[in-house]
Amino acid sequence: MALPEAKKLKLVLFAAVFIVAIGLPFILRDPYYLGFVNVFIMYSILSLGLNLILGYTGLLSLGHAAFFGLGGYTTAILMKNHGLPFVPSLVISALIALFFGFLVGIPTRKVKGDYFCLLTIIFGEIFRLVVQSWIGFTGGAMGIVGIPIPKIFGWTIRTEADFYFLGLGLLCFTYFTLAILVKSKFGRAFVAIREDELAASVMGVNAPVYKILAFGIGCLYAGLAGSYLAVYQTVVTPSNFRLEESCFMIIAVIVGGMGNLGATFSGVFLMTLATEVFRPIAEYRMLIIGLIMVIVLLFRPQGLFGASAFKD
């Protein structure tokens, strides 16, 4: 059976990506570069989740870092204080982020535009302040240090390469579940809400419920990424989950292309690269990142790869 040309190309591309992904830690021997890749993977998971909320459903959430933090702290507390293994901690972290996603989504379901944005900023700040002040539970500004080394069914995750494969697994899970979701009737309903909420509800979409659903599911992946961060850094502090982190993810989604999963990677890559390259100039690097965003949006308002976002 002869495959159509486009499908063949896709298959070849997919195989190439697969081989490179598996072989990367054997080529990239330097832990510095592999560490960079791991950070890229973590932000990819976060931004893919955010793309569902922002790019597909059209809800500008500035509190994504809080859900990231919820995942991180849940894993840290469960593993360090309660001695739970990594896998159940990971699952519980994701579920806690999902639960809080619903909790924030329910009261904000009828709030639109700027007001939604404000409420999510407030949630993000509340999270950070609670974590900073509840010293007995979260360790305050010092955070939680000495999170144990994770093990999955006897596989001890210790080196950069180990973390790379763990991250890759989580990233594949994130990407493929989201890809299935956005191609289904649920994904179409999310896009319909973004395009025109009233028309969507008249077409049979239960708009408030779907908005809560999109928000919660997007946050679930933030919980996964948080859990990954906790075991990777072995430390979580409130400063890991500031408003700047949320902005970083939003910029990555917008620069990559809203409403397109694959495009998210390009945005995250550009952003993590810029952060690394301009690290010596410290605070001023946000200035340059802002400039990059302005330039990208001037020449490609739909994002780097946003053009064919909704065409099949």
Partner 1 sequence: MPLLETTELSKYFGGVVALESISLSIEKGEILGMIGPNGSGKTTFINVLSGIYRPEKGEVKFKKRDVTGFPPHVITREGISRTFQNLRVFPNISVLQNILTGLHCRIDNSLFGIFFSPFSSMKREKQAEHKSLEILEMVNLAKTKNELAKNLPYGEQRLLEICRALASEPDLLLLDEPCAGMNPVEIDTLATFLKKLKSAGITIFIIEHNMRFVMSIAERIVVLNAGKKFKEGLPAEIQNDREVQEIYLGEEEEI
Judged by the rule CB under 8 A, the positions of this chain that interact with partner 1 are 177, 180-181, 183-186, 188-189, 191-192, 195-196, 198-207, 213, 309-312
Q: Which is nearer to partner 1, 85 or 208 (CB)?
A: 208
Tell me the angle at which helices 261-277 and 31-50 cross, rounded to the nearest 10 degrees.
140
Minimum CB separation of residue 309 from partner 1 in Å reads: 8
Minimum CB separation of residue 244 from partner 1 in Å reads: 30
Minimum CB separation of residue 59 from partner 1 in Å reads: 16
Q: Which residues sit opposite 145 in a β-bridge?
A: 235
Please list, in sequence order, all residues whose beta carbon lies within 8 angstroms of the beta carbon of residue 189, skipping any fewer than 6 positions away: 200, 205, 210
Q: Which is nearer to partner 1, 193 or 268 (CB)?
A: 193
- C-alpha distances in angstroms, 267 versus 70, 108, 111, 142, 234? 24, 28, 28, 32, 27
Q: Which is nearer to partner 1, 1 or 198 (CB)?
A: 198
Q: Which is nearer to partner 1, 277 or 307 (CB)?
A: 307
- CA–CA gap between residue 41 and residue 60 (Å, rounded): 22
Q: Which residues sit opposite 151 in a β-bridge?
A: 156
Minimum CB separation of residue 177 from partner 1 in Å reads: 7
Minimum CB separation of residue 174 from partner 1 in Å reads: 13
Q: Which is nearer to partner 1, 193 or 289 (CB)?
A: 193
- CA–CA gap between residue 175 and residue 171 (Å, rounded): 6
Contact 140, 133 (CB under 8 A): yes
